[in-house]
Amino acid sequence: MKILVCMKQVPQKDAPLKLNEAGTWIREDLSYEVNEPDAYALEEALRQKEKHGGEVVVITAGPARAQQVLREALAKGADRAIHLEDNAFVALDAANTAGSFAAAIKDEKFDLIFTGLQSDDYGYAQTGVVLAELLGWPHATIIMQIEKTDGGIRVKRELEAGYFQFVDMPLPALLTIQSGINKLRYATLIGIKQAKNKPLRKIALAEVQSAIGVNMQKIERLYVPQKTKNTEFLEGPPAEVAKKLVEKLRNEVRVL
């Protein structure tokens, strides 16, 4: 199976975020890491390849710094990488990002495309699904298991509130992968060494420009959410606090 994994570099989870002067984006002088669900998507692709053979290709869109995500993926076992390299990719909406990916892989024939189920920065949860639609492929989201079947694949979708569902799908197909679907591997020293010789194709913005339109949605303002609540602190010895709280639950919250 030939599998493409779409990956994204996002600010590190604990990185303190500062707004730019216009208040429309963050200042980008911070630490980055791979978007967590994308790491699981890559791991799943590597496992599928180990089982069924084939090739794992990783793709990302972003400035030079984003290459780190591809290098790590190659070190973990991906066969080659595609880097849509330009600062402009950071500000694209999901439709344009997906359009860029579709343009970049137009001469390739993949059986499967994996993405993480959403990104930790924008959190659209859309890029994968849009890409499937642009390619005319079936898709399934929030996947927790993938098995090859005679006619295609059987995937396990996570639904709300502890429910799941198996879905049979033909190939090619696009899947968005849930964190926790597998256990992530670490890159080995040999893997890191080998990664240096693996192909990494760079694609400039101009090469996919025709697939990019005006963003259909626009961030007008980015800000730190304000505290909206008036918190009432209940004080005193525990027995007294308990009495006060029950009085609130009874008369204000009205649940008793």
Partner 1 sequence: MPDVILVILEQREGRLNRVSWETLTAGQALAAETGWTLEAAVAGHGVTNFANEVGGKKVARVYAVESPKLEPYTPDAFAAGLKQFIESKQPKLVLMPHTYQVRDFVAKLATAMGRTAISDCIGYKKDGDKLLFTRQMFQGKLAADVSFSCEAPWFVTLQNGAFRGDKVEAGAGAAPVETVKVEIADGTIRNKPQEVFKEAKQAVDLTQAEIIVSVGRGIKEQKNIELAKQLAEALGGELAASRPICDSGWLPMDRQIGSSGQTVAPKLYLALGISGAIQHLVGMKGARTIVAVNKDSEAPIFEIADYAVVGNLFDVVPPLIEEVKKARAGA
Residue numbers 71-130 binding partner 1 by CB under 8 A: 93-95, 98, 120-126, 129-130
DSSP 8-state symbol, 53: -
* Residue 147 found at the interface with partner 1 (CB under 8 A): no
Tell me the closest approach of the beta carbon of residue 186 to partner 1, in angstroms.
20
| Interface with partner 1 in residues 172-211 (CB under 8 A) | 179-180
Residue of 150, 162, 183, 210 interacting with partner 1 (CB under 8 A): 162
Q: Smaller CB distance to partner 1: residue 197 or 229? A: 229
Nearer to partner 1, 60 or 178 (CB): 178
**CA dist., res. 78 & res. 55, Å (int):** 8
Q: Give 98's contacts (C-beta < 8 A, 6+ positions apart).
A: 126, 127, 128, 130, 131, 134
Point out which span in 47-55, 79-87, 152-160, 183-191 binds partner 1 (CB under 8 A). Answer: 152-160
Judged by CB under 8 A, the residue of 26, 88, 200, 211 near partner 1 is 26
Among 133, 148, 185, 200, binds partner 1 (CB under 8 A): 133
Ramachandran quadrant class, 23 (left: phi over 0; alpha: psi -120 to 50; beta: rest): left
C-beta of residue 5 within 8 angstroms of C-beta of residue 42: yes
Helix axes 36-52, 67-76, angle to 10 degrees: 30
Q: CA-based Rg of the chain, rounded to a whole angstrom?
A: 22
